Amino acid sequence: MARAVAARGNGEFALAIDAMGGDHAPESVLDGLELAAERHPQARFLLVGDEARLGALLARRPRAAKACSLRHAPESIPGDMKPTAALRVRGSSMRGAIDAVASGEASGVVSAGNTGALMALAKIVVKTLPEIDRPALAAIGPSARGDVVMLDLGANVQCDARNLVEFAVMGDAFARAVLGLTEPTLGLLNVGSEELKGDERVRQAAETLRDSHLGANFRGFVEGHDIAAGTVDVIVTDGFTGNVALKTGEGALKLMRDLLRQVFTSSVPARVGYLLARPALDRLREWMDPRRYNGAVLIGLNGVVVKSHGGTDGVGFAHAVDVAMDMVTHRFNERIQEGLARLSDTTPRVAATPR
């Protein structure tokens, strides 16, 4: 199986791109590809969408035009369409891009379209790796000690101990491929760091991880504040908790940004103060720029599937392409399969304990 996946990397295209997904598509997608083509000069992209519109836009973006092949798709999936309905749409740009991964033409797909539709289509068309129970949604975020990977972010609202262990294996592979870490540390999100805290599910997952080949880098339980503190490189949790934690953290940072804007416009001296501190504040803003962290990845599938934020611009879309390219280039799926093979060598398969 590992061979078959590797062979896919030799398809004609590095990535298939859903050109019509996202709030500002296709313009933002093509702006992103113009940047991506410069950063990945060897890569070829299969651009799927409305041929006439895309042709006209490519004419004004010479690098993207050179890197892309066009494939017509007459339909696009609206942002508010239910996944079940999206599965029935024939000829959508998202479906065309995903089909190219399933057929081996491309190693991965990037879409800024409907998240639920992308997840449903990818699971059904690209399919889950044979050793994986369920794919997970992973992303990278900023912390006090460098970038942090977190998963699952909402693909699975109910998980058992085995799922959490698989997420750890996938998170480890992701941190190696995308963050370039040689020995990423792992933590399991819990309500307390003492061994007896939390439910049976997380305790059982912790025990399995401690005894596995990941044991040396497994730091045990971590808590909510460890995400921003960057205590570990990879935070493993179920999709319900992960989704809430991600959005709670983003909400807190947004509140702080909004309040600072009020502070710096509250008086003339405060405005002058802002101007004086501006270079450092700009560096801070740049460091926290959500576009730098664009690209959530559905991992555990027979190919690379990256979801760009729907509202992003070309800079953000190019970052999502970077994430996908890192995963394709660094044999991400082979690493997962190696990790899972080592896991089943060293540990018995843990029993299912649904939450």
Residue 1 in the binding site for its own copies (CB under 8 A): no
Q: Which is nearer to its own copies, 311 or 341 (CB)?
A: 311
Of the candidate residues 38, 255, 344, 352, the single one contacting its own copies (CB under 8 A): 255
Of the candidate residues 74, 146, 215, 273, the single one contacting its own copies (CB under 8 A): 273
Q: Which stretch binds its own copies (CB under 8 A): 14-22, 26-34, 195-203, 310-318?
A: 195-203
Q: Which stretch binds its own copies (CB under 8 A): 213-221, 271-279, 313-321, 329-337?
A: 271-279
Instruction: Give min distance, CB of 135 to its own copies, in A.
Output: 16
Q: How far apart are CA 42 and CA 38, in angstroms?
A: 9
Q: Which of 328, 327, 306, 325 is nearest to 22 (CA)?
A: 306
Q: Does residue 47 sit in helix, strand or coil?
A: strand
Q: Which is nearer to its own copies, 78 or 329 (CB)?
A: 78
Residue 270 in the binding site for its own copies (CB under 8 A): yes
Of the candidate residues 279, 345, 348, 351, the single one contacting its own copies (CB under 8 A): 279
Of the candidate residues 49, 187, 198, 295, the single one contacting its own copies (CB under 8 A): 198
Q: How far apart are CA 237 and CA 234, in angstroms?
A: 10
Q: How far apart are CA 248 and CA 338, in angstroms?
A: 34
Q: Which is nearer to its own copies, 229 or 341 (CB)?
A: 229
Q: Give exposure, 66-91, as e/b (b: 16+ Cβ within 10 Å).
A: ebbebbebebbbebebebeebeebee
Q: Which is nearer to its own copies, 24 or 240 (CB)?
A: 240
Instruction: Give min distance, CB of 273 to its own copies, in A.
Output: 3
Instruction: Give min distance, CB of 291 to its own copies, in A.
Output: 18
Residue 88 in the binding site for its own copies (CB under 8 A): no
Q: How far apart are CA 70 and CA 17, in angstroms?
A: 10
Q: Which of 229, 318, 352 is nearest to 29 (CA)?
A: 318
Q: Give exposure, 128-163, as e/b (b: 16+ Cβ within 10 Å).
A: ebebbbbbbbbbbbbbeeebbbbbbbbbbeebbbbb
Per CB under 8 A, contacts with its own copies among 219-248 are 223-229, 237, 239-241, 243-248
User: Which tokens belong to 112?
Assistant: 């800024």
Q: Which residues contact 251 (CB under 8 A, 6 or more apart)?
A: none
CA distances from 27 to 58, 139, 214, 270 (A): 10, 24, 43, 38
Residue 269 in the binding site for its own copies (CB under 8 A): yes
Residue 267 in the binding site for its own copies (CB under 8 A): yes
Edge-first strand listing for the sheet containing 45-49: 68-72, 45-49, 13-18, 106-111, 304-307, 296-299, 136-141, 148-151, 234-236, 186-189, 218-222
Of the candidate residues 1, 7, 56, 272, the single one contacting its own copies (CB under 8 A): 272
Residue 69 in the binding site for its own copies (CB under 8 A): no
Instruction: Give min distance, CB of 253 to its own copies, in A.
Output: 5
Residue 312 in the binding site for its own copies (CB under 8 A): no
Per CB under 8 A, contacts with its own copies among 164-193 are 189, 191-192
Chain residues in the site for its own copies (CB under 8 A): 142-144, 154, 157-158, 189, 191-192, 197-199, 223-229, 237, 239-241, 243-256, 258-260, 262-264, 266-267, 269-270, 272-281, 283-284, 287, 355
